[in-house]
Amino acid sequence: MRILVTGGAGFIGSHIVDRCIAAGHEVAIVDNLWDEGGGKKANLNPQARFYQVDITDEASLDKVFDEIRPEVVSHQAAQHSVAVSTKNPKLDARVNVLGLLNVLTNCTRLGTRKIVFASSGATYGTPARLPIDEEVPQHPESPYGITKMVTEYYLRYWQEAHGLTYTALRYGNVYGPRQDP
């Protein structure tokens, strides 16, 4: 299967790339290697095709999609810092919302079957109860959490309007090898 991993040089994305390659899939990576985003050349798997492209650069992303023609997209690229989102909510929205829309538009254009999306537990804000499950109401308390909630709505819309299947993973406090200290 042809899989495109956005943010594939980052902490979580690079592990996804490694697992997909180990499972025998053809993998391509899109990552801008932005210092604050966590993408690092050292995390790149040499068996994957790498494109240093920003997901907000629509024309460049279109070219990558045209070349790869992915069957599945694992969308891990994001502005993931809550602190950055409160200082610069426009940047947060540009990367997280408009970047996703660029990915979704390409998925529809080329008939991609599925997108797996990195959402966040930040969509819950301070949860009404613990442990959190999918029935807990979402009340984001930061621009970052808001963008992640909004993008889940876009995914739902895209599935209903265009038939693109999706899975949204609401990551919590993830840690492990390759994380930024």
Beta bridge partners of 118: 169
Is 144 annotated as catalytic?
yes
Quote the distance between the C-alpha of residue 181 and its chain's center: 21
Classify residue 162 as left (phi > 0), alpha (psi -120 to 50) or beta.
alpha
Per the listing, tokens 């963008």 go with 147
Could you write out the DSSP letters of every residue in 104-157?
Answer: HHHHHHHT--EEEEEEEGGGSSS-SSSS--TTSPP---SHHHHHHHHHHHHHHH
Torsion of CA 181, 27, 169, 44, to 10 degrees: 0
Assess contact for 115 and 60: CB atoms under 8 A: no
**Residue from 124, 144, 153, 166 carrying the catalytic annotation:** 144
Sign of CA dihedral 79, 84, 90, 93: positive
Which residues are within 8 A (CB) of 125 and not within 5 positions of it... i.e. 6 or more apart? Answer: 138, 139, 140, 141, 145
Q: Active-site residues: which are they? A: 144
